[in-house]
Chain A
Amino acid sequence: MTAANIDNNRNNKNSDRPTHTLDLRGEVCPFTFVKTKLKLEEIDSGEVLEVIFDHQPAVEDVPRSVKTEGHEVLSIEEIGDNLWRVVIKKR
C-alpha cells in the first residue's frame, strides 16, 4: 500500500466512498478536465467521483480546476505506472 493510499484510507469516511467512476485513460488536457467537469454536472451534490487517467499533466491541472469550481479534492494518488486516481466530492 502506498503512502498516498494510507493517507486516503485514514480520511475515508463512508460518505467519501466514490459512487461514480470516470476512466479517462488515453485522454489528454484539457479534455481530462472537460470530461471530469461534465461528469460532475451529472451527479448529485455531495456525491463522490473517482477519476482515473494516465496523462501526467492532469495530476496538477484536474485537481486545480476542480477546486476552482468549488468542489473538494479528497485524494490524489498514483495507482500504477503512469496511472493516477483523483477522488472528488461534488459541492
Chain B
Amino acid sequence: MFTEEQIKRYARQIILPEVGGVGQKKLLEAKVLVVGAGGLGSPAIQFLAAAGVGKLGIADGDNVDISNLQRQTIHAGNLGINKAESAKLFVEKLNPDVEVVTYPYHLSAENIREVIREYDVILDCTDNFVARFLINDACVIERKPFVHAAVLRFEGEMMTIIPPETACYRCVFRHAPPPGSVPSCQEAGVLGVTTGVLGTLQAAEAVKIILGIGETLANRMLHVDLLTMDFTELKIRRDENCPVCSGRVTEIIPEKYVESCQL
C-alpha cells in the first residue's frame, strides 16, 4: 500500500493514533486548494505538502517581490516568479507525492466556482475583503469546507466553515468595511511570525477536516494576539437571515464583488 520511502517519510504521523496508515491514505487522496500563496499560504502550503496531501491547488496572480520574503519563506530564491509557480517549485523539492496544480491568476467571480469544485477543502489565505467574501459565498454555494484567516501586525483571526451546517463568514461580517477604514498589512505592517502562526493553524484545520478528527473552529472565531500571547475565541452562530447560507443567494454575481460586497 505504501512504498518504503513513504513509510519512512510519514513515520512520525503514521505513529499518531489519530492518523495511522488509514489517515495517511486519506491525506494522499485529499485535494486542497490554497487561495493566495503569500504570508498565510506559504506556511499552509509547506505543511500540507509535507503531510502528503495528494493534490494541492495553488492560486495566486502576484509575483514574488523582495518585500515578501520577510514572511513568505517558501519563495526563497524565486524573485520575480509567479507565486503559485514558485510555491510549486518548493513543493516539488519537498515531497514528490504531491501533485501541484497552479492557477497563476487571481480567482474571480467568473472562475471561482469551477475551480473550487475540484477540491475537498479550501484555505482562504487572501489579503482583501473582496476575495474573502468571494471565497465564502462560492464555498457555501458549492458546499465546500473552508478555513478563513486574516492577519495584521501581531494579531490574527480565523474560523472554519463547514457548509451548510456551520456559521459562514457572512453570518459574522455581512459586508466589507468602507475602503480605507481598515488598514492593510501594507500600511500597518505584519510580523512574519503572525502569518506563520495563522497559516500553519489553517493547515492544521485542513488536516483535521480531511481526517475527520478533533474539533475544528466551526462556529468559533479564534483571535490570536502574539504580543500578549492571548488566544481567545468567540462562539458564533449561523444567522438565519444570512443571504448566503440561508440559501437565498445561489449564484455568484460578479457585480457584487467590488468594495462593500453587499448582497
Cβ contacts under 8 Å, B185 to chain A: none
A3 touches B (CB below 8 Å): no
Per DSSP, are chain B's interface residues mostly helix, strand or loop, or mixed?
A: helix
Chain B residues closer than 8 Å to A31, beta-carbon distance: 7-8, 11
Q: Interface readout for A42-84 with B: 1 if CB under 8 Å, 0 if not?
A: 1000000000000000000000010011000000000000000
Q: Write out the residue numbers on chain B whose beta carbons fall within 8 Å of the beta carbon of A69.
A: 17
Contact of A30 with B17 in the complex, beta carbons under 8 Å: no
Smallest Cβ distance from B28 to chain A, in angstroms? 14
* Chain A contacts for B1, CB-based, 8 A: 38, 42
B14 & A38 in contact (Cβ 8 Å cutoff): yes
For the complex formed, measure the closest distance between the CB of B52 and the CB atoms of chain A, giving whole angstroms. 14
- Check: A37 CB closer than 8 A to any chain B CB: yes
Mostly, the A contact residues are helix
Residue on B nearest A30 in the bound complex, by CB: B11
Q: A33 and B15 in contact (CB under 8 A), knowing A38-B7, A41-B22?
A: yes
Contact A68 B17 (CB under 8 A): yes
Are A34 and B17 in touch, CB under 8 angstroms? no
* Residue B61 CB within 8 A of the other chain: no
Max chain B C-beta neighbours (<10 A), residue from A34, A38, A65, A68: A34
Q: Which residue of A lies closest to B8 (CB)?
A: A31
Does B21 sit within 8 A of A, measured CB to CB? yes
- Report how far A41 CA is from B8 CA in the complex, Å: 17
A37 touches B21 (CB 8 A): yes
A35 interface residue (CB < 8 Å to B): yes
Tell me, in angstroms, the Cα distance from A31 to B15 when the chains sit together: 9
Contacts of B184-242 to chain A: CB distance below 8 A: none
Does B177 touch A at the CB level, under 8 Å?
no
Interface residues of B in 1-54 (CB under 8 A from A): 1-2, 7-8, 11-12, 14-15, 17, 20-22
Contact present for B20 and A37 (CB under 8 Å): yes
Chain B nearest CB, measured from A57 CB (Å): 15
Task: Report the bound CA distance from A9 to B21 in whole Å.
Answer: 32
Binding site for A on B (CB under 8 A): 1-2, 7-8, 11-12, 14-15, 17, 20-22
Given A31-B11, A34-B11, A38-B20, 9 additional A-B pairs, CB 8 A: A30-B11, A31-B7, A37-B14, A37-B20, A38-B2, A38-B7, A38-B21, A41-B22, A68-B17
* Chain A residues within CB distance 8 Å of chain B: 30-31, 33-35, 37-38, 41-42, 65, 68-69
